[in-house]
Amino acid sequence: MRLLKVATCNLNQWAMDFDCNLKHIKDSITRAKEVGAVIRLGPELEITGYGCEDHFLELDTVNHAWECLKEILLGDWTDGILCSIGMPIIRGSERYNCQVLCFNRKIVMIRPKMWLANDGNYRELRWFTTWKQKDQLVEFQLPPEISEALSQTSVPFGYGYIQFLDTAVAAEICEELFTPNPPHTELALNGVEVFLNASGSHHQLRKLDLRLRAFIGATHTRGGVYMYSNHQGCDGARLYYDGCSCVVVNGEVVAQGSQFSLKDVEVVVAQVDLDAVASLRGSISSFQEQASCKTKVSSVAVPYNICKPFNLKMLLSSPQKIMYHSPEEEIAFGPGCWLWDYLRRSGSSGFLLPLSGGADSSSVAAIVGCMCQLVVKEIANGDEQVKADAIRIGNYADGKFPTDSNEFAKRIFYTVYMGSENSSEATKTRAKVLADEIGSWHLDVCIDGVVSSLLSLFQTVTGKRPRYKVDGGSNVENLGLQNIQARIRMVLAFMLASLLPWVHNKKGFYLVLGSSNVDEALRGYLTKYDCSAADINPIGSISKQDLRTFLRWAANHLGYSSLTEIEAAPPTAELEPIRSNYSQLDEVDMGMTYEELSVYGRLRKIFRCGPVSMFKNLCYKWGATLTPSEVADKVKHFFKYYSINRHKMTVLTPSYHAESYSPEDNRFDLRQFLYNARWPYQFRKMDELVQEMNGDRVAFKETGEDGGTAAGGGGMGVVAAASGDPKAGF
């Protein structure tokens, strides 16, 4: 038996904080060595942090990374252990995203990334070049100060692997695993048994399974030990990197780290038998045949044994059941951990949330409550860093620290119900009850006086006073009156966030939390610069349907029972007067349901449908209950309001990214914000299709022939499976 102990890790790095990042790297190497690991894998670009973005274009960033690497190599960190460390490197005039493989205080090899992530949230081609010379390793001249310090002038650079005396090890960096022809296929045929995947992968609801299946598939049919390392936490932007570092052997997970955690460093260790890899490969005839005629990959020889012989005291890591969180848990823990990182790194003293008693703001409140529970739990488990951060933020003294989540919430969380004459007693009560359950410092503020003052000023300036629609006013007046209330709440929220800590003799300021969801942003069902305008928004790319499911879960699992009543209440903005024959409802105002909005959003973004393609697909999905004309009207209605409100995305509060159809304008969904909202060409094409379909329906009725309903032709196959299941294909 060739026994090998390996360690991979989740690191909570912070972009451009080299002291923080270097400390975590050293800590992870120390922990790996303490348990006897001989390979340590860290996440992609771990020295700089993954989210540096245009800072990667600065020479300082690359230089500081070299300085940090030098400090690691001059110490005893890499003695007896192969360390894969991620950093940017400039070779000639090109900048590469690299894994630097170090062993015994020397750089053994530098592996540049060959296929870059360049879609969705990723823009690696903006900062890095792909390595294209796959046929050879080239010599890379180390920077003079590094060369002098290490007594090493050059190092092999490029695509290849490390050949130890008893096994072969290679890097496969993040995106490369997900390409049509991933490097591990060719490397396995060349005898590589251990694969090191350094990654920077963000959390997205229901995404983890896709990632794990890729690791399992990589080694299931070709054998091997696949190590995966990832960032974990908020490194300075909208993404939460969700860890889950793991080790997979021959298609089975033998070690898995947490997906959501407040820890800065988590090391995942496994002991594996490499003979099991050789045995599997030797039993597959096709593997043998393809290996015999493989394309040769360059290698670097390291005359050292890293495996241990058979020893009963060394227990092998056994296959384990993969840990998956439910979507409701993901909504609680992902944004909760993201908020904690933002809170402790921003210098603020807590959060302020306008709490309306509705589903969205109550979801945000529950997530903050979950964050407080996680902090108290982690302190009880002995995490000194979380304890130190909580003592500082909560302004504890005399050796005290949080032991109760409600008491901690009272110190760092303000909730404010800003009611008006249009608000109901029910929402006011629900907000107060939820605040008490969470433990927040709750305020009840009436904004009628401020609204009246503004209207009096308007009347003095113009001689007119607007009225609500139910009182005989026009749509323009009605909308203007609603916007006044919404924007006053935003101004009051920021004023309270900056001054309430002072009122209570606390240091710092509070971060204002937003609470608009992804569906409302897509439709534009929010006022520009209302309570959606905040410092950060933990639910900004979560759908209304997922949030309602989360509220039901949180009522039972977080202990906030009032959320059950909140979830059951019909969504309403409460910006218009309540009358015996009229009550404002969100879905009526929008002219569509939240379920429909979710469908539109997925077709628009995930399936890249314009108006005509969306119409065709929805004819298949909704054709059993709606006529083509009715489907066309719905699609036109959506695109009209999507386009006239797209400008709101340019000022959308930075939001936690959790959904693949997020309309977020600044990073993820790059589209114009000035449209011809009439869509004349596209809508005309839809009208022509409706006429054709109506003609076909008439012909069908006259002949009685069944033309068939099989989907897939004419480019309309996206929702082909949707006839039986209302959510199929979405």
pLDDT at 666: 75
Residue 720 has pLDDT above 60, yes or no: no
Distance CA 83, CA 169 (A): 11
pLDDT for 130 equals 97
Mean pLDDT of the region 668-683: 91
Q: What pLDDT score does 83 carry?
A: 98
pLDDT band for 701, please (50, 70, 90 cuts). low
Query: Confidence band (pLDDT; 50, 70, 90) for 359?
Result: very high
**Cα–Cα nearest to 342, from 76, 145, 535, 74:** 535
pLDDT tens-digit series, residues 24-57 = 999 999 999 999 999 999 999 999 999 999 999 9
For residue 621, pLDDT beyond 80: yes
Domain boundaries, the chain: 3-324, 328-445+477-567, 585-698
For 377, the enclosing helix (H) or strand (E) is helix 359-380
Question: For 424-445, how does the pLDDT look when each residue is reduced to its tens digit (9 = 90+)?
Answer: 999 999 999 999 999 999 999 9
Give the angle subtended at the CA of 60 by the CAs of 54 and 61, to the nearest 5°. 55
Q: What is the mean pLDDT of residues 358-364?
A: 95
Task: Give me the mean pLDDT over the 489-512 stretch.
Answer: 94
46 vs 651, residue with greater confidence: 46
State the pLDDT confidence band at 579, using cuts at 50, 70 and 90: confident
The reported pLDDT for the residue numbered 698 is: 57
Report the percent of the chain where pLDDT is more than 90: 83
d(CA 706, CA 727): 26
**Segments in 515-603 forming alpha helices (H):** 518-523, 544-557, 563-568, 586-590, 594-601
Task: Report residue 50 as tokens.
Answer: 């993954």
What pLDDT shows up at residue 578? 78
8 Å CB contact between 317 and 272: yes
Is residue 708 predicted with pLDDT exceeding 60? Answer: no
Q: What is the pLDDT of residues 240-249, one digit of tens each?
A: 999 999 999 9
Per-residue pLDDT, 357: 94
Query: How confident is the model over 527-545, as pLDDT tens digits?
Result: 889 877 999 999 999 999 9
pLDDT at 411 over 70: yes
**Cβ contact 479:466 at 8 Å:** no
Q: What is the pLDDT of residue 711?
A: 32
SS3 string of 329-368? HHHHHHHHHHHHHHHHHHCCCEEEEECCCCHHHHHHHHHH
On whether the CB atoms of residues 603 and 614 are closer than 8 A, the answer is yes
- The whole-number pLDDT of residue 660 equals 85
Distance of CA 706 to CAs 60, 215, 702, 724, Å?
70, 47, 11, 19
Closest CA to 102 of 116, 74, 81, 88: 81
Among 11-25, 274-288, 560-574, 577-591, whose mean pLDDT is lowest?
Answer: 577-591
Class of domain 3-324: alpha beta
**Are the C-beta atoms of 481 and 584 separated by less than 8 Å?**
no
Contact in structure between 98 and 83 (CB atoms under 8 Å):
no
Distance CA 5, CA 314 (A): 9
Token pair belonging to 356? 């309306």
Other CB atoms closer than 10 Å to residue 699's CB: what's the count? 11
Contact 88, 624 (CB under 8 A): no
Length of the chain measured in residues: 730
Mean pLDDT calculated for residue range 453-468: 96
Q: Which of 115-129, 150-164, 578-592 has the weakest average pLDDT?
A: 578-592
Q: Is the confidence at residue 724, as pLDDT, over 70?
A: no
Q: Which residues of 584-618 are buried (b: 16+ CB within 10 A; e: fewer)?
A: bebbebbebebebbbbbbbbbbeeebebbbbbbbb
pLDDT at position 472 = 93
> Which residue numbers are catalytic?
44, 113, 174, 356
Position 64 scores a pLDDT of 97
- Plot region of 460 (φ>0 → left; ψ -120 to 50 → alpha; else → beta): alpha
- pLDDT over 60 at 486, yes or no: yes
Which of 8-17, 306-315, 492-501 is predicted least confidently? 306-315
User: What DSSP string runs through 77-107?
Assistant: TTTTSEEEEEEEEEETTEEEEEEEEEETTEE
User: Average per-residue pLDDT in the chain?
Assistant: 92
Q: What mean pLDDT comes out for the span 303-315? A: 88
pLDDT of the residue at 661: 80
Q: Which of 408, 406, 361 is nearest to 387 (CA)?
A: 408
Predicted confidence (pLDDT) at residue 678 exceeds the cutoff of 60: yes
CATH class entry, domain 328-445+477-567: alpha beta
Q: Is the pLDDT of residue 270 over 60?
A: yes
CA distances, 419 to each of 414, 467, 626 (Å): 16, 19, 40
The CA distance from 206 to 360, in Å, is: 21
d(CA 204, CA 605): 15
Q: Which amino acid is at 255?
A: A
Q: Mean pLDDT, to the nearest integer, of 705-722?
A: 35
